[in-house]
Amino acid sequence: MIAKTSMAMTSLLVATLAFSIVPLFAAGRTQRANATRLVLATTTSTENSGLLAELLPPFEARHNAVVDVIAVGTGQALQIGRSGDADVLMVHAPQLERAFVADGYGIKRVYFMYNDFVLLGPAEDPAGVGGTAEVSEAFARIAQARAEFISRGDNSGTHVKEREIWDLAAVDTTGVWYREVGQGMGAVITLANERRAYTLADRGTYLSYIGGVEIGVLYEGDALLFNPYGIIAVNPERHPHVKLELGQALIEHVTSPLGRELIAGYRVGGEQLFFPDND
């Protein structure tokens, strides 16, 4: 009887080992043989908008690579880069990016595309931001009306931009009307829509959500709302294990004529979401 049980225990052990090793050969996925994995920590907007699903496959095919996309806010993406847990970062907070490179964590910040931020809100526009001349004035009116505003609150590029505008408007945002939710762009648009609240969003993500939400653009066009995206390879001097060569190849891909064409050609509902840098 004990021999029988030992056999059961042995099969259990074998099963455990098998299941622990299987991840390498996971079924049901388009895994290329011997593909190299490249970890890309990116802002949620590039992922949530669907751009990366268009931009990455040609790169993956050409370099026999699989890009693992970790979609988080820019602040967290930079943090993942600092810890060495990603090879390449795709982010949109120029000041934070410059600091990242200056501290030696990134090799170089390459500016490769842009879009702009828009102020979203309910059609009734209770704070009356519609007719304002500058975005800081629009924000000041929201604060004055104590109209509900949903903030990313996650140190993402959009959050950094939003804080910059509040500072410019010289507004104290403590109050129940100002809600920091600590979530990605898509979640925040969904939340703001449910609450019929105001929020600052990048146009790319907003356009990819436009079909499902009833809040709309109430203010746009201020030069302050320009939203440049950068791509940075993590510096192997800080983290020797990073895949620099493949990372550089990805940077070359997104700035190449093909990459620019894919970015410019990506449309949701007929609208262009991102614009390749045209220096």
**Contact flag: residue 31 with another protein (CB under 8 A):** yes
Q: Which is nearer to another protein, 241 or 270 (CB)?
A: 241
84 touches another protein (CB under 8 A): yes
Q: How far apart are CB 37 and another protein at their closest, in Å?
A: 8
User: Which residue is it, tokens 């090799």?
Assistant: 107
Q: Are 49 and 205 in contact (CB under 8 A)?
A: yes
CB-based contact 234:40 (threshold 8 Å)? no
Length of the chain: 279
Task: For residues 186 and 154, give the distance between their C-alpha atoms in angstroms, rounded to a whole number.
Answer: 13
Measured CA to CA, the distance from residue 260 to residue 264 in angstroms comes to 6
Is residue 63 within 8 Å of 36, Cβ to Cβ? yes
| Nearest-approach distance from CB 205 to another protein, in angstroms | 9
Site for another protein in 213-272 (CB under 8 A): 239, 241
Is 10 a residue that touches another protein (CB under 8 A)?
no
Region from 76-84, 103-111, 122-130, 163-171 binding another protein, contact rule CB under 8 A: 76-84
Backbone angles phi and psi of 246, in degrees to 5: -70, -35
User: Footprint of another protein on this chain (CB under 8 A)?
Assistant: 1-2, 5-6, 9, 12-13, 15-16, 19-20, 22-23, 26-31, 39, 48, 66, 68-71, 82-85, 183-184, 186-187, 190, 208-209, 211-212, 239, 241
